[in-house]
């Protein structure tokens, strides 16, 4: 694999951004292994207010957190987190790259910016997924992230009925109820440079070589690597 000189920060769900159905620490560890193999300097942090204070020190922000609980006595109310979301918006609005993984579509519900940064989101009462299984995902666009990637398979959840903003470009879909649902997309609308990747419910998803290749390619593309290098993964 190529070695890229860049710093990555992985934000792991905690408190209002964790839940009992996802082991964000375990999946973040698997993500860190893939990105470290690229030569990237990877730092893993829990999502707390102070974690956002030095975003400018990283070259790629990876968000691996969920909807969590609203518990002001534990980690503050929405007003307590407002400056945090402003900092994240400033980072993304400056064109700095953001990679949202799996439950990132269902995190930061208190942010007025996150849906536009990510290019879509999970809609409570509409979005869903069938039980995790050995799933096949379809590549539906020409893009360095997926060109020549070949069959994409993983034991994973298949997110369905996500809300995808018009400016997002779907790269990968999965079929459920006779409908093709986008599960990986690029958002390059306005000032943003983001990728959302719905794969990665649990550690088993990262046992798939094609899933790990997809993750590596997403990171490289977001960091501006040469397209030939991305396609070589």
The answer, yes or no, to whether residue 2 has pLDDT greater than 80, is no
Return d(Cα 122, Cα 21) in angstroms, integer. Answer: 16
pLDDT class of 39 with cuts at 50, 70, 90: very high
Contact 27, 104 (CB under 8 A): no
Computed over every residue of the chain, the mean pLDDT equals 95
Domain boundary assignment for the chain: 7-232
The confidence score (pLDDT) of residue 1 equals 63
CATH architecture designation of domain 7-232 = 3-Layer(aba) Sandwich (3.40)
The confidence score (pLDDT) of residue 100 equals 98
Per residue in 179-217, pLDDT (tens digit) is 999 999 999 999 999 999 999 999 999 999 999 999 999
Contact 18, 71 (CB under 8 A): no
Query: What is the average pLDDT across 140-154?
Result: 96
pLDDT class of 96 with cuts at 50, 70, 90: very high
Contact 88, 97 (CB under 8 A): no
Single out the residue of 201, 181, 198 nearest to residue 140, CA to CA.
181
Residue 180 in tokens: 């093709």
The confidence score (pLDDT) of residue 72 equals 78
DSSP, res 128: B
The answer, yes or no, to whether residue 3 has pLDDT greater than 90, is no
Per residue in 99-113, pLDDT (tens digit) is 999 999 999 999 999
The confidence score (pLDDT) of residue 95 equals 97
Q: Dihedral sign for Cα 19, 54, 29, 207, please.
A: positive
């Amino acid at each position: 694999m190529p070695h890229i000189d860049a710093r990555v920060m992985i934000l792991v769900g905690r408190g209002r951004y964790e839940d009992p159905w996802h082991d964000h620490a375990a999946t973040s560890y698997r993500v860190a292994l893939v990105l470290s193999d690229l030569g990237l300097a990877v730092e893993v942090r829990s999502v707390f207010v102070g974690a956002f204070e030095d975003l400018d020190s990283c070259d790629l922000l990876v968000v691996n957190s969920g909807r969590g609980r609203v518990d002001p006595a534990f980690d503050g109310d929405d007003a307590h987190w407002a400056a945090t979301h402003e900092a994240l918006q400033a980072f993304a609005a400056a064109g700095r790259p953001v990679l949202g993984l799996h439950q990132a579509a269902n995190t930061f519900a208190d942010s007025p910016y996150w849906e536009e940064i990510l290019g879509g989101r999970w809609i409570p009462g509409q979005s869903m997924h069938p039980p995790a299984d050995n799933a096949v995902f379809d590549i539906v666009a020409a893009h360095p992230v997926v060109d020549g990637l070949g069959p994409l398979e993983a034991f994973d959840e298949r997110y369905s009925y996500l809300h995808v903003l018009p400016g997002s470009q779907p790269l990968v879909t999965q079929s459920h109820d006779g409908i093709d649902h986008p599960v990986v997309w690029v958002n390059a609308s306005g000032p943003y440079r983001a990728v959302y990747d719905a794969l990665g419910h649990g550690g088993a998803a990262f046992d798939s070589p094609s899933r790990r290749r997809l993750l590596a390619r997403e990171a490289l593309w977001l960091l501006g690597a040469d397209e030939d290098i991305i396609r070589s993964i």
